[in-house]
Amino acid sequence: MAGEPDEALLRRRAARYAARGAPGALEVAEHLCFSRGAGQYALPLESLREVRPRGHVARVPGASPVVAGVFQFRGELLSAHDLAGWREPGPGARSRGEWLVVVEHQGARLGLVADAVEGIERRDAGQLGAVPVLLGERGVCFRGVLGAQRLLIEPERLFSTPAFFRAF
């Protein structure tokens, strides 16, 4: 049976190629990149609803330092959250921020204050570093680090973390 060695060779090759995955089948993800204070952030594009100039944001007396205020978004009142206030709680000199990045997760929306919006970046989804340990419990809202310094926001965690999501 001369066909058996050829068949065995083909099975081994098929198993080897199947284990590697198809070349070029990398999962590429797109993110909106922006900065706030000393932090650099990335938001998955599927959670982005709008980037708009900050405009009027009304302060809310007694609100958490994370909540910069509220603003009108297409007839809806949304809260504006400050990632700089989240990462470095307490009173501090922070810029006003020039932009609002409107994020949506499962029908809930909020705005993130941004100083600058750098644009959209495409990256291999496997290029994700660990969230820095120094962030402690405040690192829960991030999936990891893209590149050397950009924190990747995890919308599901952002909306389910009471200390970030609630104003009071």
Please state the separation of Cα 87 from the chain's center in Å: 14
Tell me how far apart the alpha carbons of residues 163 and 118 are, in angstroms, rounded to a whole number. Answer: 27
Structural domains of the chain, with CATH: 26-165 (2.40.50.180)
What tens digit of pLDDT does each residue of 122-161 get?
988 677 899 999 999 999 999 999 987 899 999 999 999 9
What tens digit of pLDDT does each residue of 31-85 get?
999 999 999 999 999 999 999 999 999 999 998 889 999 999 999 999 999 999 8
What's the predicted TM-score (pTM) here?
0.81
